[in-house]
Amino acid sequence: MNFALAVSQAVRSAVGPKMIAGFRVTPFEAEADGYKLEGAKQLCNELAKLELDYISISLDDYRLSRPTSETRDYKNPIVQTHVPALSPITEIGRFIAGRCAVMASGGIRTCADAEGAIKLGADLVAVGRAIVVDPEWLTKVRENRETSIVPGLPEDEVEIAETLSIPPRKVKNLLRRPGWIPRL
């Protein structure tokens, strides 16, 4: 926690109060000896004292209430063995009690997903993979054209690189975890 707090304080001091500054927190780790939600809540409590503008709660899927292994196959559904009474977004949001905004991320692909995260207590949502798949995602959402959002990447790696104008090496990186980025 000391390292995270020192870095956050240094950033806040360096950029001043007029620049937006936040911190991204994974609320728990999948490993048996990894940190738990209680530790993340303590960190968020200390981070909120630094007058950060937001704390981003980073989950593989904002709907989940347990950690997922980095080695899991993203094509297979996650079976939750222990489901806390409240979402990590809700718990951390209540714990920091409005001292800064709460941002939710993970699995937000539609307006309904964003609204779901907000209902759990998020003030903001971060959209990542959906925008990688369809760079026009926000425009389509704003224009009420969600049905035209591209749901996945093409199967062919060369076509992905051409469609998204990204280097083939980055395409390989995106595809290294099966199912993390949806495919057509």
Look at residue 166 in the predicted model and tell me its pLDDT.
76
Give the percent of the chain with pLDDT over 90: 49
Q: What pLDDT score was predicted for residue 52?
A: 95
Closest CA to 175 of 155, 145, 151, 150: 155
Arithmetic mean of pLDDT, 91-113: 92
Domain extent listing, the chain: 2-127, 134-184
Residue 153 has φ and ψ, to the nearest 5°, of: -80, 150
* Sign of CA pseudo-dihedral 119, 120, 123, 128: negative
- pTM for the model stands at 0.81
pLDDT of residue 81: 47
The per-residue pLDDT for range 50-70, each reduced to its tens digit, is 999 999 999 888 887 665 555
| Residue reference for tokens 């620049």 | 19
Report yes or no: 84 and 65 within 8 Å, Cβ to Cβ. yes
Look at residue 133 in the predicted model and tell me its pLDDT: 86
Q: May I ask the CATH class of domain 2-127?
A: alpha beta
Query: Is the Cβ–Cβ distance between 130 and 137 less than 8 Å?
Result: yes
- Across the chain, mean pLDDT equals 85
